[in-house]
């Protein structure tokens, strides 16, 4: 289930830096690795399942981010997964500023998963 949507399907690929760099260059014209990409499909299959899209996560980048941000690898993996799912839902952000509405929601969801109160 994705954020209360029981009829959603999401595929996820865990990859290395070379793979995500190639995808980033091909689809975003950015010749550099990144931590996560999402590719929105947004259509129903013959069984009525909502095929939201694909998520590609670069594990070496997640590990480096965890080190850089001083968080566990598990927390950072959850963060990028939430980030990608929000993109598949149609959310977007202009910058990586902490006050971007999508990023605030991302962190609120992460806090809820950790059992923290957000209100």
> 83-119 pLDDT, tens per residue?
999 999 989 888 888 888 899 999 999 998 887 766 5
What does pTM read for this prediction? Answer: 0.87
Boundaries of every domain in the chain: 8-113
Note the pLDDT of residue 117: 67
What does CATH list as the number for 8-113?
3.40.390.30
The phi, psi pair for 112, rounded to 5°, reads: -60, -40
Contact 32, 21 (CB under 8 A): yes
Helix (H) or strand (E) segment spanning residue 107? helix 101-113
The DSSP call for residue 67 is H
CA distances for 71 relative to 62, 76, 119, angstroms: 10, 7, 23
The phi, psi pair for 2, rounded to 5°, reads: -110, 110
């Amino acid at each position: 289930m994705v954020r209360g949507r029981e009829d959603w399907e999401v595929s996820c690929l865990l990859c290395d830096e070379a793979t995500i760099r190639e995808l980033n260059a091909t689809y975003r014209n950015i010749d550099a690795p990144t931590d996560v990409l999402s590719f929105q499909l947004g259509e129903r299959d013959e069984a009525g399942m909502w095929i939201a899209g694909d998520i590609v996560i670069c594990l070496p980048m997640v590990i480096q981010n965890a080190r850089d941000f001083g968080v566990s690898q598990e927390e950072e993996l959850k963060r990028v997964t939430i980030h990608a799912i929000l993109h598949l839902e149609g959310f977007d952000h202009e910058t990586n500023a902490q006050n971007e509405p999508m990023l605030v929601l991302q962190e609120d969801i992460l806090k809820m998963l950790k059992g923290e109160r957000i209100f």
